[in-house]
Amino acid sequence: MKKRMTFTLDVDLLKELKAASEKTMIPQAKLVEKAIKQVLEQYNK
């Protein structure tokens, strides 16, 4: 199950996210999801 969220990102970070998405053909939402999972894994050690 997924839920839509609204949040603010730094403009430069958003540019990098968009570029990474275009380069990898992975949707921005999926890249953000992966990044959040990595951070949570680090904090849950």
The full DSSP string for 3-42 is --------HHHHHHHHHHHHHHT--HHHHHHHHHHHHHHH
> For residue 16, what are the domain limits?
11-43
pLDDT at 45: 81
Domain count, the chain: 1
Asked if residue 1 is part of any domain, the answer here is no
Read off the pTM.
0.86
**What is the overall mean pLDDT for the chain?**
96
pLDDT at 20: 98
pLDDT tens profile 4-21 = 999 999 999 999 999 999
Asked if residue 15 is part of any domain, the answer here is yes
Tell me 19's DSSP state.
Answer: H
Structure tokens at 34: 């992966």
